[in-house]
Amino acid sequence: MVTDGISAGDTTWVLVAAALVMLMTPGLAFFYGGLVREKNVLGTIMHSFVVIALVSLLWVTVGYSLAFGPDHGGIIGGLDWLLLRHVGQTANADYAATIPHLAFMVFQMMFAVITPALITGAFAERAKFSTFLVFTALWSLLVYAPVAHWVWAPGGWLRELGALDFAGGTVVHVNAGIAALVAAIMYGKRLEFGKEAVEPHDVSMMMLGVAILWFGWFGFNAGSALAANGLAINAFVVTHVAAAAAALTWMLLSWAQSKKPSAVGVGAGAVAGLVAITPASGYVDAGPAIAIGIGAGVFCYLAVQLRHRLHLDDTLDVVGVHGVGGAWGAIATGIFASVAVNAAGADGLIHGNPGQLGTQALAVGVTLGYSLIATLVILRVLDWVMGLRVSEEEEKLGLDISQHGERAYTLQGLSVQSVAELTVPRPRRWAYERGRSLAANGTGGLPSKLLERETKPWIRK
């Protein structure tokens, strides 16, 4: 059914896809939350959830206008659409002729939400929450919005050059991946990094997060067709097979190295495949998608191994999975793209157009360079003004208590902290109670040190 150019079917699909993409950020929260230690679960999950609220409001007020508003020199959108002025229930043919402009806006909102959430994996377990909020706001407006305009908006200079990015390989993953590298270096290593084993506290939570991400990614990629049509179906299919190929590839590589098939490896591999197929999902069919997935499994696995060798504390391997996976996917688009799949795209290298590979490489390089410099400047200023990290005592205690005053788990109705209270001998309980109170409020000092010393035999840190 089409009324005044608006298709009910297309609109329905894009709204469902927007909901699926929104679900990806809570999925990311569980993915990241399962990989950190027990004392930092809520702090890690909180990063992703608060980004949904913060970036959504920024997007409606100014972000969407900067990213997709009327072009200014190919660099940025204007302020014509502040607070969604002129963004209404009719279609904007520059973006999608068969859905309301508001539907396109809210679909793109969910991309703007998840991108800074991805970066948080690089500084998990040591970030000061207040600084994180300011960083997220600044990065969304100063980094994400311009890059989105360059690649996706009419008049954007990379779009005009012919760069292809169907659903966010450069705008989302390369952009977030290089920002994560800068953040991991700027925040520095965790206190225990390289000194003791730091293992995931709940791999089952991590796998739940992967499942939600995989499910939501169908909206991410197939929804980017902006219509319920054959291109959306193709994007759906290639998204799934690329993820499957990457998951198996990573599992086999880790199996060969460690002699056991790793659940974490399967999950990380699936996410790497989803990342890599994202820019190509609207331009390739199943065969190239499998090749892209296998490549993602290999390249991202090797990148994570290199990260270990370099002793870079990228807590949750954002650089290896999203940065490397996104760059590979963008380059692979220049190799495998075909106008037989999408007439609005271009042929790639294997279809006789080597120039497309160069255009893709340029888009990756420009995104890497701009995001690196802009992120470095933002973090330098914030480190000087606010400080990036929590104190050593707060980090030892865990971000759940030190930043949020809460704990993630209860045991038969009792919190882990309450169990400790029952087992701490009475003569020592005064130190425990006073130390817990001050540490939870970020006061630090001798009482919190007493907390650590007096309760160490009875409470798991």
DSSP codes joined into one string, 402-423: HHHS--S-EETTEEHHHHHHHH
DSSP string, 334-387: HHH--TTT-TTS---GGGT-HHHHHHHHHHHHHHHHHHHHHHHHHHHHHHHHT-
Asked whether the predicted pLDDT for residue 437 surpasses 90, the reply is no
Q: How confident is the model at residue 410 (pLDDT cuts 50, 70, 90)?
A: confident
Using an 8 Å Cβ cutoff, are 63 and 55 in contact? Answer: yes
Domain boundaries, the chain: 2-385, 409-455
CB 166 within 8 A of CB 329: no
**pLDDT digits over 272-315, tens only?**
999 999 999 999 999 999 999 999 999 999 999 999 999 999 99
Q: Is the domain defined by 2-385 classed in CATH 1.10.3430.10?
A: yes
Q: What does the CA dihedral 275, 277, 279, 283 come to, rounded to 10 degrees?
A: -170
Q: Which residue has the tokens 């502040």?
A: 82
pTM reported for the whole predicted model: 0.89
Long-range pairs for 422-426 at CB < 8 Å and ≥24 separation? 423/458, 423/459, 424/454, 424/455, 424/458, 424/459
CA–chain centroid gap for 54, Å, is 15
The closest alpha carbon to 4, from 110, 89, 107, belongs to: 89
Digit-coded pLDDT (tens) for 349-375: 999 999 999 999 999 999 999 999 999
- Grade residue 195 by pLDDT with cuts at 50, 70 and 90: confident
